Amino acid sequence: MPAPRTILLTGAAGGLGTLMRSLLPEYGYTLRLFDVRPVEDAPDAVTADLTDTGALREAVRGVDAVLHLAGISLEAPFEKILRSNIEGTYNLYEAARLEGVPRVVFASSNHAVGFTPAPRPGEPLIPVDTPRRPDTFYGLSKSFGEDLAQLYWDKHGLETVSVRIGSCFPEPTSVRMLSVWMSPADGARLFHAALTAEGVGHTVVYGSSANTRLWWDLTSARELGYEPRDDSEPYAGKLIAEHGEPDPADPAHSHLGGHFVNDPPIWPY
Ligand code: NAI
Ligand code: 15L
């Protein structure tokens, strides 16, 4: 596909949205912004909910692709997840289909497969086609989003790269994140690859840096042209000194989803 130039960035006021607002323009993108919260220093951003189908339709009109980050990003009661993440993602895809937008990059999550046991050192990495095992209603909504993306490809020819993001924050802050961290710069590299690779149909990839302690297989991400440059390992000494060696019996280390399997962080709004 020709390199997309104008991107609708949903979730632009959030943590990852804010990082991508500063990093993606370096790749030549013009960003149109969308969030239910106002986006700082962006008077042209669309402030609307994903349930507002009219606003969504207008927001996607004429863009080359959508980077869909908006939604509840932690665990929440099912009714809230249903509205923002399940119906909201459906509304986004319908708007994209009706306006002829050819590609979506969907922020899926490791929590779509969070109940998968984490590999011990020396065991094979978790492949992208491992059965989905959501660890929360949140993870279930990401699993739904991946299936929705497959349906819109099979039925309507709308392409998606579903990126099962690990933890994308400026630095890893826990021992688990040594395995699942994606540096913001690698995040921008991966989203750029997902926005521009040819013939992706619906492709699922894991989103992380080339971590020494990586838990999952980055082959499908590399096949898009993604070349991660970062590794969490330089942070290992400090994090292990602070928090101790990973205990394989601790849910934080025994399952891909970490504490989401037993004590998930709750969406505060
Ligand atoms: P965040 O919570 O900081 O940002 C999410 C944004 O979506 C917020 O600005 C919020 O206002 C907006 N939003 C929520 N519900 C909405 C609705 N109904 N209508 C319009 N906007 C709505 O989350 P973060 O960390 O920036 O994550 C972005 C996306 O990436 C989320 O979909 C999250 O599930 C996914 N993700 C993020 C990871 C990370 O490490 N940051 C890891 C895995 C997935
Ligand atoms: C996610 O899906 C969350 O949105 C993010 O806030 C982190 O908790 C991340 O997963 C993680 O697994 O660390």
Quick: pLDDT tens for 19-50: 999 999 999 999 999 999 999 999 999 999 99
Tell the residue nearest (CA) to atom 2 of ligand 2. Answer: 109
Tell the residue nearest (CA) to atom 7 of ligand 2. Answer: 167
The catalytic residue among 93, 138, 152, 206 is 138
- The residue-averaged pLDDT of 151-160 equals 98
- The residue-averaged pLDDT of 44-69 equals 98
Lowest-confidence range among 5-19, 215-229, 237-251?
Answer: 237-251
What is the model's pLDDT at position 3? Answer: 72
Lowest-confidence range among 2-6, 24-28, 160-164, 217-221?
Answer: 2-6
For residue 135, the ligand closest to its alpha carbon is: 2
CA-73 nearest atom, ligand 1: 34
Write the pLDDT tens digit of every residue in 172-209. 999 999 999 999 999 999 999 999 999 999 999 999 99
pTM of the predicted protein model? 0.98
Is residue 2 over pLDDT 80?
no
Is residue 150 over pLDDT 90?
yes
Tokens of 185: 């710069």
State if residue 208 touches ligand 1 by the CB under 6 angstroms criterion.
no
Is residue 157 over pLDDT 80?
yes
Is residue 267 over pLDDT 70?
yes
Superfamily of domain 6-261: NAD(P)-binding Rossmann-like Domain (3.40.50.720)
| Structural domain spans, the chain | 6-261
What is the model's pLDDT at position 1? Answer: 61
**Mean pLDDT rounded to a whole number for the chain:** 97
Kindly give the distance from the C-alpha atom of residue 237 to the centroid of ligand 1, in angstroms, as a whole number: 30
pLDDT band at 4 (very low <50, low <70, confident <90, very high): confident
Is residue 255 over pLDDT 80?
yes
Kindly give the distance from the C-alpha atom of residue 212 to the centroid of ligand 1, in angstroms, as a whole number: 27
* 138: annotated active-site residue: yes
State if residue 15 touches ligand 1 by the CB under 6 angstroms criterion.
yes
Write the pLDDT tens digit of every residue in 116-133. 999 998 999 999 999 999
What is the model's pLDDT at position 246? Answer: 87
Share of the chain above pLDDT 70, in %: 99
- The residue-averaged pLDDT of 233-242 equals 98
